[in-house]
Structures are given as C-alpha cells and as structure tokens.
Structure 1
C-alpha cells in the first residue's frame, strides 16, 4: 500500500535551514563576505531565494545564525566529552585563577586562528560596525554571553580572596580579552599560546616589579 502521509514539513524545514547554514559558511570562506549573496547561498543550499528571505532579512543575519549554530555544535561536542555535571564552555574553577584563565585564553586563541571560525567571525565583526542592528545582535547573542563567563569566574575568585574587592569586573575581564581581540583584528603579530599566557600574567600582576 502506498504511503499517503504528508511530508514532515518541520523536518523538511530543518534540513533546509541546515543546508543554508552550511552554504553561508562555505561561501564566506571561499569567496569572502562581500561576494557572498543571498542568491548564491540559495543556489548552494538548493532552496529558493524566497525561502531565505522568509526566515532572515539579510545575508548578515543568515551568517550570524549559522555562526551561532556552529558554536552550539562545538558546545554540544564539548559537553559530550566533559565530566558529568560540568557545563561546556564554562571557565574552569580549579582554585588556581591564573591557570584557569590561561587555559580558556589559549582555547580562545586556537578558535580565533581556526579558518572555520576566523573567516565568518571577521565578516560579522566588520559588518556589525556598519550595520547597527546586526552589531547589537552579534554582541548580545555571541560576545556578551562569553564575557559573562569571565565575570562569573572573576567573581568566584573575588569571593575566595584571590581578587581585590571593589574591582569593576567588567573592566578586569577587558584586560584579558581586549589585547587578544586587538592583536587578532590587526593581524600584524602572531596570536599564540605564549601571548595568551603573557596577557593573563600582565592582567593579574600588572607591570610593576614583583616583590
């Protein structure tokens, strides 16, 4: 007997959405953001252009959602390999703040140096400067959640007596993340683990001679 059931539209939509994510990331990696178009994404994904416009207002919005999904995939993979009860993408709290910050900043350097992440990340950072709405969404959905992980870890260190009371933790975390982002944006000097370690040490201990 023939199967007369209607196709699962939800499953079909999810397949199309994932194909669009993959197409957007691939095209930006191959041709750059400027040459990537909605038409090109649609052709690569095997969907109609109107399908994309029904879900997203612009190619920047498509790329942002695709990049967020890429991060979610990495988080799920990390969670599968993490010890039970340990959240993925949390900054560890071993009691050694310096070691914990070096670990996460090294991982950040690895991600920023990975072409899979670097190319769409740069495209979104640049587009967010000229597109205020996309920039605000980029900050709220991607940057701010990551920065709050630093606030949480620094606050725990503060509670444990390892960080001075009264500090503005937002300013403190920028001493860690700002230099890495600056070097990554300029691309004039290598972004390495040794550099990440130095940033942590300078942020924690300052520039004055140690006693």
Structure 2
C-alpha cells in the first residue's frame, strides 16, 4: 500500500515537473521548437514518461492549458460574483474576459502552441477522437476543438444570450475568443500587454451588448 502511494506521488511530481518545464520552454522558444524530447530533458524525466503521461505534443499542450485554466473554471462555476454566479450577465462577461486575458498573458506562447500542435497532430488527433467516439469534433484539427476553448465559448455565449437573446450569441462568442488565437494578439501578449488586450475585449463586448437588435 505504501509503495502504491509512493508511485502515485512520484507520478504526480513528474506530471507537475513536465507541465512546469513545458511552460518555461514556451516562454523561451517558439512552439515548433518545443519538442517532447526537449520537455523531457528540461523536466528531468525520460522521453517515454512524457509520452506515457500525455500521449502526444497536442495532449501535452491541452493538459497544460487545462491545468492553468482549472482555477478560472472553478471561479466561474462556484466562485463569488462577478466572475461567479450572482452578478448580471454583462458584469460576469466583463469579469470573465478580464480573467481570460490575464490567464493567456501569464502563459505566453500557449495558445500558439495549441494551434501549432493541432495542425502538426491532425491525423493523430483524428485517431484519438475516433477511439473516444468523437470523430466529428476532432476531424477538423482546430484549436476550437480543445475542451478549454469549448468551456470558454459556452460560458461566453451563454452570458451574451442571457443579456441579448435576439443576437447570434454562438457566433459572437467565437468572434470574441477567436481573436486570442490571432498572430497580432499573440505578439501583443509576448510583449506583456495583456491589460491592453483585456481593455479591447471589453470594448468589443460592450459594443455587442449595446448594438441595435438586428432587423
């Protein structure tokens, strides 16, 4: 029993070391330069350990984003307002966009890495999706398919729909969040200008919520 607990503790430490090494490498190198071999060396583990834990570069990048986004998801679901339940939808949306901008600003290169890994791993992603019974979701190989984006999009579109049910909330949420994956925005984040990004997202969201109803 003690040996099993020790193995689980070692596995947890390895996981955190791998994720931390990946984040540090993404802050120093372009996404295509962050290989599984380089991550393993930086984390002080064998390459096989990285593949065993995460399966692929795409799996590693998604796991890193999920790890960093978990606290935000918890705050949105169970935390105090305005980020959590209880505030008007427009206040919750502004607070959420601020939090997203801060999150991606702290994890420079991660969104770009997700996009690069998705493109590089497209056949592998389809195979993984087929095994999970999610062929249609994974077949496109788009960053939009990863679970963090789906949660963010679902929350954003829900808040827009609550405030303005006559609008196309699903598309508007994609427009807001899709900007996070653009090259100019990624370069902005690399320069540490996440506050500028947050302010611009607020302007876009406010304009959406205040726009005249479509005829």
1:125 aligns with 2:131: no
What TM-score does the superposition give when structure 2 sets the normalisation length? Answer: 0.69
Return the alpha-carbon distance in structure 2 between the equivalents of residues 179 and 47 of structure 1: 36
- What residue number does 2:156 align with? 150
Superposed, which structure 2 residues align to 1:184-203 within 5 Å?
Answer: 184-185=185-186, 187=188, 191-203=196-208
Change (3 A) 1:74 1:207: closer
| Contact map agreement 1:42 1:49 (CA 8 A) in 2 | yes
| Contact map agreement 1:75 1:89 (CA 8 A) in 2 | no
Residue 148 of structure 1, CA deviation: 0.6
1:55 aligns with 2:48: no
Change (3 A) 1:75 1:201: closer
What TM-score does the superposition give when structure 1 sets the normalisation length? Answer: 0.70
Choose which of 102, 127, 135 in structure 1 pairs with 2:94.
102
Return the alpha-carbon distance in structure 1 between the equivalents of residues 176 and 33 of structure 2: 34
Return the alpha-carbon distance in structure 2 between the equivalents of residues 31 and 98 of structure 1: 37
Residue 147 of structure 1, CA deviation: 0.7
Gaps of 5+ in 1: 158-162
**Greater Rg by CA:** 1
**Structure (1 or 2) with the greater helix fraction:** 2
1:46 aligns with 2:47: no
Return the alpha-carbon distance in structure 2 between the equivalents of residues 153 and 119 of structure 1: 28
Helix, strand or coil at the partner of 2:33: coil
